Structure 1
Amino acid sequence: MVEFQLLDRRVHRSKHALCNALFDLLEQNKYDHISIKDIIVKAGYSRGTFYSHYRNKDDLLYECIESLFDKMVKSYRNWYIDKDLLNIKEFHNEPLTFLSHMKQYGRYYQILLGKNVQIDFRQKITEVLLNLFVDDFEYIGKSEQNPLEQSLLNRYCGYGVIGVILEWINEDFPTSPQKLSEELVKTMQTPLGNIRIKRKSQWNSYYYSDTIS
């Protein structure tokens, strides 16, 4: 049993080192320009160790992403895992654990959202978070909602929150997780009233163009 535990620790340590090496390299290099040799030299492991875990660097990248998503989902569900009903009016700072995770692993998210990784990570993270909204939440209003309306409401709320979080990451976390959490809660608790149309005189002329008939 001790040998298995030691082996597990060794596997975890080598995988962790390879993942960190890949992300260190991605800070300065495009993914397509990084070789397995670059990764193992940076990590301080042999080619044999690499191939004992992965078939190629794509396997390594996707396992790093899956590990990150696993941590993200756990942190997201942490604040409601023991609840059956959420009252938005009673929210205080519920998103904080999730946002703290995003800040803690911000380097990884920023690299994956950056130009050096040739995958649409923005779409991937949006899908994961949106699925959480759709799968975990059912909004209860004053009137009955049919399934189509419920699905639309889930996506409407989900895309809004996701957009704010991705912008926060891309702007290098201009506010603290605590502050953003408080602002998100305020947004959730604020019903929309009437909408005032602003500064019509400053609208661009292309709004009135007849170029396309």
Structure 2
Amino acid sequence: MTKVDRRIAKTQEALNKAIIELMSEKNFDNITIQDIADQANLSRGTIYLHYQDKYDLLDRLIESHIDELKDMDEWACKMNWEIGLTHFFEYFEKNFLFFSTMLATKSAPTFRSRLLKYVMEGMVHDIDRENGKNDNIEEDVMLQYSATAYVGVIEWWIKNSMPYPPHVMAGQVAVLLRRSLNSFLF
């Protein structure tokens, strides 16, 4: 893995923070490159050294969070569900401003669909097909149902200012997901 220059990382971090802070205040369509530059205390030229436009900045920020979640899959999914999910809910908590902004704003509708796609890809291996379980349910229907429920719970938790700690949410969601993915019978 290539090591990123600290100055570049610091600049990108300032720009990421700036765009999220601005999106929590106003519609993305109304945010200008100058607004982002002012918020990050950088020049417009510096932004254009790193990104094509504000859409590129937002897209790469979203992609970086999805990539971090995918990296967590590598090790968290090898644990039992409750412990693994606790790490995810701790990540959502740590990045509350990002997730609350992305899930609350109508300016970033692609975020929710990208998060849903990521969750569905992760769940595909958890469907229990032993002993004829779930044979009467199409895989894409089951994935859509379970992933939409999981993303919906994350969205509810964040929009309601995280009323329960990550470990409690992980325990609750683990039970629900286990039921829907492993015990789906009609």
Q: Decide whether aligned partners of structure 1 residues 123 and 193 sit closer, same or farther in structure 2, where only a CA change above 3 A counts.
A: closer
Shift of 1:193: 9.5
> Which residue of 1 is the match for residue 71 of structure 2?
74
* Residues 98/111 of structure 1: CA separation in 2 closer, same or farther (3 Å cut): same
Distance 1:150 1:33, change over 3 A: closer
In the alignment, structure 1 segments of 5+ residues that lack a partner are 84-89, 195-213
Name the Cα RMSD after superposition: 2.9
Give the TM-score normalised by structure 1: 0.73
Tell me the SS of whatever aligns to 1:95.
Answer: helix
- Structure with max Cα Rg: 1
- 1:151 Cα deviation (Å)? 4.0
State the percentage of identical aligned residues. Answer: 23
Does 2:46 match 1:26? no
Which runs of at least 4 in structure 1 moved beyond 4 Å after TM superposition? 144-148, 188-194
User: Cα distance, 1:91 vs. partner?
Assistant: 5.0
Which residue of structure 1 lines up, in the alignment, with residue 158 of structure 2? 169
TM-score in terms of structure 2 length: 0.82
User: 1:153 matched to which residue of 2?
Assistant: 142
- Offset at residue 60 of structure 1 (A): 0.5
Say which SS state the counterpart of residue 9 (structure 2) adopts. Answer: helix
* 1:45-60 equivalence runs, <5 A: 45-60=42-57
Structure 1 residues 145 and 173: alpha-carbon distance in aligned structure 2, compared to 1, 3 A threshold:
closer
Distance 2:184 2:64 in 1: 38
Q: 1:113 aligns with which of 103, 119, 128?
A: 103
8 Å Cα contact 2:62/2:111 also seen in 1: no
Stretch deviating more after TM superposition (111-120 or 41-50)? 111-120
Q: Which residue of 1 aligns with 2:35?
A: 38
Higher deviation after alignment, 71-80 or 32-41: 71-80
Instruction: Give the distance between the partners of 2:107 and 2:136, measured in 1 at CA.
Output: 37
Count of residue pairs the alignment pairs up: 182
Deviation of 1:21 after TM superposition, in Å, equals: 0.8
For 2:73 and 2:155, the matched residues in 1 are separated by 15
Map residues 57-206 of structure 1 onto 2, 5 A cutoff: 57-81=54-78, 92-115=82-105, 117-134=107-124, 136-143=125-132, 149-188=138-177
Larger relative contact order, structure 1 or 2 (CA cutoff 8 Å, min sep 6): 2
Give the direction of change, closer, same or farther, for the CA distance of 1:29–1:149 in structure 2 (3 Å limit): closer
Equivalent residues of 1:79, 1:94 under 8 A apart: yes
Q: As a proportion of its length, which structure holds more helix?
A: 2
Q: How far, CA to CA, are the matches of 1:132 and 1:193 in structure 2?
A: 21
**Structure 2 unpaired stretches of 5+:** none
Amino acid aligned to 1:109: F
Distance 1:188 1:14, change over 3 A: closer
